[in-house]
């Protein structure tokens, strides 16, 4: 049986997404992976998220899926998968022994004192420090913990002393942490605080809550660190648009969809010298590079482009936009339609052209991206006028096809 | 990084085991099982109990003796503190927290609100910085905590003020709408009230009759048939990912997806289905299908009249 702890998250990330987002595949469908690998990963996910796993047996076999109504959960269950990192017996022993010696910010000890302290602790158990580590292993662990902020150090004369940092009081913050753990980037970090402090009951729930980005936490964290530090990065991605599997970019912004949960890294491609959207769930790794000197000018470029981005598509030429326009009929008592247009117009403009008709128009980089939204006004669209004639014709053609789809059985003419 | 054993279920569970031993001076096997089942994964008991039995971790013996002297508590990492610091920049933060711990100000934010954009959220967000809105928000939170009732007035869709007494249950947030709604019981006509429509709000003692009545929205199942052209399968599964759902492959590029939804969200779901165009067809429930057909017919007439 496979251990429920794992060393590498990347492999299971794909499985989790498959089970949660799709959930219709059978064991045989995972052709790129071996059947044994599938069984191991399925078993692990069951162990982490058993309460949310469902099975469906059909003539073709059994399929496994994660079925979660996000309105019923206070905490994203996918965060649990991030808490499955494997460790060695030495790792866990040093963790508990060191933090026990440095149990309060009022206690500070040198490396030598910690070594002696551990030796003393283990002697009580009839064991010796030689079973655990040598001096340099301890030094490495202390350095690692200092880097992560679990410990801090200061000099007393010539001796470096380690201590535990003073923690801010969280008593008044738990509800905020619970809220932002679900709504803010890298919410996993907040959820770990709540787990540590055993805080779980909150009068909160979430609608339209997309939880899959939890699986991309480490990628997103690297991207945000790079944005804060204004660094170039090398992105390894499985997206078809990324030639040779990797791309050198300067990250500008994270674009997150509240309507489908997709997250994109908006970045400047240093080779092609243009802005590109990179889907975060396709990114396999991000390596931070040197800081990018002219970061501000890229931000300004993006800011100018922003008023023409409907979804995430961008063009190399700032002014290479397409005009899109449609009008809708608004009858008396249907003012909510006008309000909808105003509320949902993004970078577009809305105006009443007469008492009963409103016009939406915009100049955007990709007309195709706006089509799904235009379709939501079906029943009241009086005209669609796109500069991109192909997209415009496709809209009408699609409407005819949709109509036929629903009326074909009734033999009605279209 | 975030995928790190220090945040892991095992470290956390071992902390609870040690704390229990220090509190009681010993531990029964049944108590170990109880702790592991509560805090760890479903297979963890086998792994953790074996590690203790083998005395693999050195600080804990097989008969639950430990050399540790203090209940373990892993300090917050810099990454966690920087995450907390980032929250201070969010205008919703003050809805939840009246006094910000000053120590957090000394950390670098992990991100700023300007680093992330929800590009398709609606523009009429709740007025988070409005004093009256904040006051209402705090009154509601206090009422939920003290299990008091609320007397409130809100503006209905018909633009009329309505005064009610309700029991506040919880706050529901939608990222898409960027709005909070109050979920209530105690009134058979009202289940949800948008916070931004509340014009008066006061906590009042809970009355017994309030608890009995609550509006329960019916759950319905929508069945969609889709053809996986233009990447519809991925788009649809992501789009509806937040629902409880089940998908089945029926033919080479054909799929059936069943989605459980609340009847009160039907209009919203209707336009979301229409947004996919001809690659997605609703086949059940019949009343849902009829609503789509009515919209298509009306649209067809509009287009025909233009030809």
The mean pLDDT of B19-47, rounded to a whole number, is: 94
Residue A42's pLDDT is 83
Q: Is the pLDDT of residue A27 over 70?
A: no
Report how many Cβ contacts below 8 Å link chain A to chain B. Answer: 382
Partners of residue B78 in chain A, C-beta under 8 Å:
148-149
Q: Is the pLDDT of residue A32 over 70?
A: no
Residue B214's pLDDT is 63
- Cβ–Cβ contact A151 with B under 8 A: yes
Contact B35, B17 (CB under 8 A): yes
Confidence of residue A414 (pLDDT cuts 50, 70, 90): very low
Q: Is the pLDDT of residue A413 over 50?
A: no
Burial class (CB in 10 A: 0-12, 13-18, 19+), A20: buried
Matching fold, domains B131-212 and B219-306? no
- The number of C-alpha atoms within 13 Å of A358 and in the hemisphere containing its C-beta is 20
Confidence of residue A55 (pLDDT cuts 50, 70, 90): confident
User: How far is it, in rounded angstroms, from Cα B148 to Cα B159?
Assistant: 28
The mean pLDDT of A376-404, rounded to a whole number, is: 97
Q: Which CATH number fits domain B131-212: 2.30.30, 3.30.70, 1.10.3470, 1.10.20?
A: 2.30.30
Q: Which residue has the tokens 């399929």?
A: A63
- We find that the CATH architecture of domain A89-163 is Orthogonal Bundle (1.10)
Residue A410's pLDDT is 65
Q: Is the pLDDT of residue B37 over 80?
A: yes
Q: What is the DSSP string of A287-316?
A: EEEEEPTTHHHHHHHHHHHHTT-SSS---S
Q: Which of A99, A193, A253 is closest, CB to CB, to B72?
A: A99
pLDDT tens per residue, range B86-124: 999 999 999 999 888 889 999 999 999 999 999 999 999
Confidence of residue B213 (pLDDT cuts 50, 70, 90): low
The CATH code of the domain at B219-306 is: 3.30.70.600
- Cβ–Cβ contact A246 with B under 8 A: no
Residue ranges of A 75-134 with Cβ closer than 8 A to chain B: 80, 82-87, 89, 91-93, 95-97, 99-100, 103, 121-122, 124-125, 127, 131-132
Q: Is the pLDDT of residue A1 over 60?
A: no
pLDDT tens per residue, range A365-383: 999 999 999 999 999 999 9
Kindly report which listed range (A188-197, A367-376, A404-413) carries the lowest average pLDDT score. A404-413
Q: What is the DSSP string of B242-299?
A: TSEEEEEEEETTEEEEEEEEEGGGHHHHHHHHHTTGGGEEEEESHHHHHHHHHHHHHH
Interface test with B, best of A10, A69, A128, A165 (most B CBs within 10 A): A69
CATH class of the A213-305 domain in this structure: mainly beta
Residue A60's pLDDT is 66
The mean pLDDT of A282-303, rounded to a whole number, is: 97
pLDDT tens per residue, range A9-21: 998 898 888 887 7
- Angstrom CA distances, B158 to A333, A336, A341, A352, B200, stand at 10, 11, 19, 22, 18
A126 Ramachandran zone, left/alpha/beta (phi>0; psi -120 to 50)? left
Confidence of residue A59 (pLDDT cuts 50, 70, 90): low
Kindly report which listed range (A3-7, A163-167, A249-253, B139-143) carries the lowest average pLDDT score. A3-7
Nearest-CA distance B110 → chain A (Å):
7
Cα-Cα-Cα-Cα torsion A34, A35, A38, A44, nearest 10 degrees, comes to -120
Kindly report which listed range (A266-270, B29-33, B81-85, B100-104) carries the lowest average pLDDT score. B100-104
Structure tokens at A29: 């469908």
3-class DSSP state for residue A154?
strand
Sort strands A61-66 and A53-58 into parallel, antiparallel or unpaired.
Answer: antiparallel
Interface test with B, best of A379, A385, A393 (most B CBs within 10 A): A379
Q: What is the DSSP string of A130-144?
A: GGT--HHHHHHHHHH
Confidence of residue A28 (pLDDT cuts 50, 70, 90): low
Q: Is the pLDDT of residue B202 over 80?
A: yes
The mean pLDDT of A177-184, rounded to a whole number, is: 97
Cβ separation A189–B93 shorter than 8 A: no
Dihedrals φ, ψ of A325, to 5°?
-150, 140
Residue B12's pLDDT is 97
Burial class (CB in 10 A: 0-12, 13-18, 19+), B146: exposed
Cβ separation A414–B300 shorter than 8 A: yes
Of the candidates A278, A186, A100, the one whose C-alpha atom is nearest the C-alpha of residue B81 is A186
Chain centroid, CA A251 distance in Å: 15
Q: What percent of chain A has pLDDT over 70?
A: 94
The mean pLDDT of B32-50, rounded to a whole number, is: 94
Continuous segment of H or E residues that includes residue B300: helix B286-306
Nearest-CA distance A135 → chain B (Å):
17
- Cβ–Cβ contact B105 with A under 8 A: no
Domain A322-409 has CATH 3.30.70: yes
User: How far is it, in rounded angstroms, from Cα B86 to Cα A184?
Assistant: 9
Domain extents for chain B?
1-74, 78-115, 131-212, 219-306
Confidence of residue A71 (pLDDT cuts 50, 70, 90): confident
Confidence of residue A31 (pLDDT cuts 50, 70, 90): low
Answer whether 0.90 is exceeded by the pTM: yes
Kindly calculate the radius of gyration of chain B based on its CA atoms and give it in whole angstroms: 26
Partners of residue A399 in chain B, C-beta under 8 Å:
277, 299, 303
Q: Which residue has the tokens 């709000």?
A: B201
Q: What percent of chain A has pLDDT over 90?
A: 79
- Cβ–Cβ contact A261 with B under 8 A: yes
Q: Which of A50, A122, A345 is closest, CB to CB, to B67?
A: A122
Structure tokens at A86: 């494997």
Cβ separation A207–B172 shorter than 8 A: yes
- The number of C-alpha atoms within 13 Å of B149 and in the hemisphere containing its C-beta is 15
Find the helix packing angle between B78-87 and A188-196, rounded to 10°. Answer: 110
Contact B203, B143 (CB under 8 A): yes
Nearest-CA distance B209 → chain A (Å):
22
Cα-Cα-Cα-Cα torsion B88, B92, B97, B98, nearest 10 degrees, comes to 100
The mean pLDDT of B289-296, rounded to a whole number, is: 97
What's the mean per-residue pLDDT of chain A? Answer: 92
Dihedrals φ, ψ of A144, to 5°?
-60, -45
Q: Is the pLDDT of residue B212 over 60?
A: no
Confidence of residue A409 (pLDDT cuts 50, 70, 90): low
User: How far is it, in rounded angstroms, from Cα A231 to Cα A252?
Assistant: 10
ipTM of the shown complex: 0.95
């Amino acid at each position: 049986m496979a251990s429920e702890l794992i060393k590498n998250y990347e492999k299971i990330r794909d499985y989790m997404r498959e089970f949660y987002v799709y959930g219709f595949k059978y064991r045989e469908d995972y052709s790129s992976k071996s059947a044994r690998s599938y069984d191991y990963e399925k078993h692990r996910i069951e162990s982490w998220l058993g309460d949310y796993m469902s099975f469906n047996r059909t003539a073709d076999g059994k399929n496994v899926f994660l079925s979660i109504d996000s309105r019923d959960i206070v905490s994203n269950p996918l965060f649990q998968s991030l808490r499955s990192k494997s460790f060695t017996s030495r790792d866990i022993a040093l963790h508990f022994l060191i933090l026990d010696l440095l149990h309060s910010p009022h206690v500070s000890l040198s490396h030598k004192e910690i070594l002696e302290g551990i030796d003393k602790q283990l002697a009580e158990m009839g064991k010796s420090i030689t079973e655990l580590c040598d001096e340099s292993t301890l030094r490495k662990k202390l350095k690692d913990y200092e880097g992560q902020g679990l410990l801090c150090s200061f000099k007393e004369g010539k001796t470096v002393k380690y201590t535990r940092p003073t923690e801010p009081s969280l008593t008044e913050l738990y509800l905020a942490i619970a809220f932002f753990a679900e709504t803010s980037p890298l919410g996993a970090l907040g959820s770990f605080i709540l787990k540590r402090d055993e805080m779980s009951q909150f009068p909160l729930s979430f609608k339209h809550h997309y939880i899959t980005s939890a699986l991309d936490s480490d990628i997103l964290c690297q991207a945000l660190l790079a944005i804060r530090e204004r660094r170039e990065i090398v992105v390894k991605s499985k997206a078809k648009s990324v030639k040779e599997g990797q791309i050198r970019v300067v990250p500008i912004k994270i674009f997150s969809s509240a309507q489908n949960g997709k997250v994109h890294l908006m970045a400047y491609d240093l080779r092609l010298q243009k802005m590109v959207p990179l889907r975060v769930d396709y990114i396999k790794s991000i390596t931070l590079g040197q800081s990018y000197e002219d970061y501000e000018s890229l931000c300004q470029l993006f800011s100018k482009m922003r008023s023409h981005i409907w979804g995430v598509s961008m063009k190399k030429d700032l002014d290479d936009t397409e005009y899109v326009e449609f009008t809708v009929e608004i009858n008396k008592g249907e003012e909510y339609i006008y309000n909808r247009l105003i509320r949902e117009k993004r970078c577009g403009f809305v105006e009443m052209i007469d008492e009963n008709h409103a016009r939406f128009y915009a100049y955007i980089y990709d007309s195709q991206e706006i089509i799904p939204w235009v379709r939501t006004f079906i029943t009241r669209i009086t005209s669609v006028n796109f500069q991109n004639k192909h997209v415009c014709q496709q809209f009408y053609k699609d409407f005819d096809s949709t109509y036929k789809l629903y009326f074909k059985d009734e033999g009605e003419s279209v | 990084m975030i995928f790190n054993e220090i945040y892991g279920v095992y470290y956390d569970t071992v902390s609870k085991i040690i704390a229990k031993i220090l509190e009681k001076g010993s531990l029964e096997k049944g108590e170990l099982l109880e702790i592991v089942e509560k805090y760890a994964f479903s297979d963890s008991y086998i792994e953790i109990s074996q590690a203790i039995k083998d005395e693999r971790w050195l600080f804990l013996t097989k008969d639950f003796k430990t050399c540790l002297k203090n209940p373990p508590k892993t300090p917050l990492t810099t990454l966690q503190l920087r995450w907390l610091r980032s929250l201070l920049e969010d205008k919703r933060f003050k809805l939840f927290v009246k006094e910000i711990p000053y120590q957090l100000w000394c950390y670098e934010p992990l991100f700023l609100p300007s680093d992330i954009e929800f590009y398709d959220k609606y523009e009429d967000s709740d007025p988070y910085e409005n004093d009256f809105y904040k006051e209402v928000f705090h009154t509601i939170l206090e009422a939920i905590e003290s299990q008091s009732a609320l007397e409130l007035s809100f503006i209905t869709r018909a633009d009329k003020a309505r005064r009610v007494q309700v029991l506040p249950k919880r706050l529901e947030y939608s990222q898409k709408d960027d709005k909070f709604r109050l979920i209530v019981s105690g009134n058979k006509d009202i289940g949800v009230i948008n916070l931004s429509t509340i014009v008066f709000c006061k906590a009042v003692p809970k009355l017994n009759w309030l608890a009995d009545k609550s509006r329960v929205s019916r759950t319905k199942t929508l069945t969609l048939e889709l053809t996986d052209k233009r990447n519809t399968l991925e788009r649809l599964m992501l789009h509806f990912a937040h629902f409880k759902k089940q998908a089945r492959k029926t033919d080479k590029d054909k799929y059936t997806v069943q989605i459980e939804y609340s009847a009160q969200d039907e209009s919203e779901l209707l336009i979301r289905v229409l947004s996919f165009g001809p690659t997605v067809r609703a086949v059940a429930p019949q009343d849902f299908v009829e609503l789509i057909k009515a919209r298509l017919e009306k649209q067809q007439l509009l287009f025909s009249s233009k030809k």
